[in-house]
């Protein structure tokens, strides 16, 4: 299917970001451009905020936002003097912390420490009234509290500011030129007075045979590349990895007794799991102890942060600041650049009434009301 209407506007959109992280969405916005009738539409980075110093340093180093502010989100909205220093924007992006919605966390949902932070994003929409927004979170947000939390979040986003039509979708980023099985809910909101309908961009690939493999993604990294330092293993970890074949983990491998893990209860499939070189990587995470660092299929070691950045489709010129563990955290929380670029370009085409291939969304919200129908598959 193709979306096409009469032309309305051409412009660069002024972008502001909350919870900006190391700049996954920002880097995507830098690359996302469309051209019509000889005119370009794209993005200008205006401001970005995050509580984490290293993330702000990374963002500042790579993206030319005029204002990059390290500040806790609570303080930003508690003291309006900080908020008033941020210029007006056309679009707002935010990936509010996913810790309480993630399938690998305690799943506290809206009752957790991080769950309620989305309310500051709603407050930002009230304050800035941007023409549209881009919101991101983990797939687990759909089913948190049997879907009640997600319904509440969507309802409040819909009613924020001057009111928004919202278009949520669960994206499988391995279908969008990302060599990683990373599934995220993206919500595009367009202000009602613009009278625009956003359609979900069609996947680049739907056949797993056509997905980008992690082997192809990690080819050709210069040994001198930034953020490419190898973390040394203990002898027992190296020995354990040598027994684990590509695509396998510590629990489904034939290990001698001394190398097995004595873990009772649930056994996470990603523990000491080595990548399958012919498939997309499994989801890159930003935290976790021994055995959770994502492991190379050929070498008995964890991936370097530059290799993780490749799987998140950051360009090699995007340099990450801070310690190796801080870089890992930043990468694990980031939105894949290439996937976000495809979505942002589709928004530009929608707003400029340009044709693009699209599919039906897999989360139905009934824009005229608050009832939510979930396809949780």
Distance between CA atoms of residues 57 and 321, nearest Å:
6
| Torsions phi, psi for 92 (to 5 deg) | -125, 135
- Number of Cβ within 10 Å of residue 41's Cβ equals 21
Between helix 53-62 and helix 324-333 the angle, nearest 10°, is 80
Q: Is 261 strand, coil or helix?
A: coil
Q: Which of 56, 98, 214, 321 is catalytic?
A: 98
- Residue that the structure tokens 């309006």 belong to: 80
220: region left, alpha or beta (phi > 0 left; psi from -120 to 50 alpha)? left
55-61: long-range pairs with CB below 8 Å, 24+: 55/20, 55/21, 55/22, 55/330, 56/20, 57/321, 57/322, 58/22, 58/23, 58/318, 58/319, 58/320, 58/321, 58/322, 58/330, 59/20, 59/21, 59/22, 59/23, 59/26, 61/319, 61/321
Angle at CA 109, nearest 5°, toward 107 and 112?
Answer: 95
Closest CA to 132 of 190, 88, 205: 190
CA dist 167 and 188 (Å) reads: 5
d(CA 31, CA 181): 22
CA distances from 369 to 26, 183, 194, 285, 372 (A): 32, 26, 18, 35, 9
User: What is the pairing mode between strands 34-36 and 39-50?
Assistant: antiparallel
* d(C-alpha 74, C-alpha 39), whole Å: 40
DSSP annotation of 324 reads H
217 contacts: CB under 8 Å, gap ≥ 6: 179, 281, 310, 311, 313
Please say if 350 is a catalytic residue. Answer: no
* Active-site residue set: 98
């Amino acid at each position: 299917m193709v979306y096409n209407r009469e032309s309305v506007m051409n412009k660069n959109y002024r972008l502001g970001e909350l919870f900006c992280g190391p700049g996954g969405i920002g880097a995507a916005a830098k690359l996302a451009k469309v051209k019509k009738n000889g005119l370009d539409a794209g993005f200008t980075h205006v401001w970005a905020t995050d509580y984490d110093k290293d993330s702000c340093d990374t963002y500042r180093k790579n993206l030319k936002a005029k204002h990059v502010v390290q500040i806790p989100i609570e303080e930003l909205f508690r003291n309006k003097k900080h908020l008033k220093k941020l210029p007006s924007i056309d679009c707002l992006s935010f990936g509010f912390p996913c810790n309480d919605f993630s399938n690998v966390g305690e799943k506290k949902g809206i009752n957790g420490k991080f769950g309620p932070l989305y309310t500051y994003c709603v407050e930002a929409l009230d304050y800035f009234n941007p023409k549209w927004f881009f919101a991101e979170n983990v797939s687990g947000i759909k089913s948190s509290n049997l879907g009640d939390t997600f319904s509440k979040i969507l309802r409040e986003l819909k009613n924020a500011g001057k009111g928004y039509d919202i278009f949520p979708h669960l994206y499988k980023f391995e279908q969008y030129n990302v060599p990683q099985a990373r599934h995220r809910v993206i919500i595009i909101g367009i202000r009602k007075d613009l009278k625009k309908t956003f359609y979900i961009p069609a996947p680049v690939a739907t056949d797993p045979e056509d997905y980008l493999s992690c082997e192809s993604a990690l080819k050709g990294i210069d040994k001198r590349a930034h953020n490419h330092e190898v973390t040394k293993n203990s002898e027992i970890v190296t020995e354990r990895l040598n027994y684990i074949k590509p695509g396998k983990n510590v629990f489904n491998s034939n290990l001698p007794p001394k190398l097995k893990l004595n873990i009772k209860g649930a056994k996470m499939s990603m523990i000491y799991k080595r990548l399958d070189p012919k498939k997309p990587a499994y989801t890159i995470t930003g935290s976790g102890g021994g055995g959770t660092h994502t492991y190379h299929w050929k070498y008995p070691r964890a991936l370097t942060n530059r290799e993780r950045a490749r799987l998140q489709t950051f360009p090699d010129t995007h340099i990450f600041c801070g310690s190796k563990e801080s870089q890992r955290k930043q990468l694990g929380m980031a939105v894949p650049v290439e996937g976000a670029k495809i979505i942002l370009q589709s928004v530009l085409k929608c707003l400029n009434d340009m044709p693009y291939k699209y599919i039906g969304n897999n989360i139905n919200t009934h824009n005229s009301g608050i009832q939510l129908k979930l396809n949780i598959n």
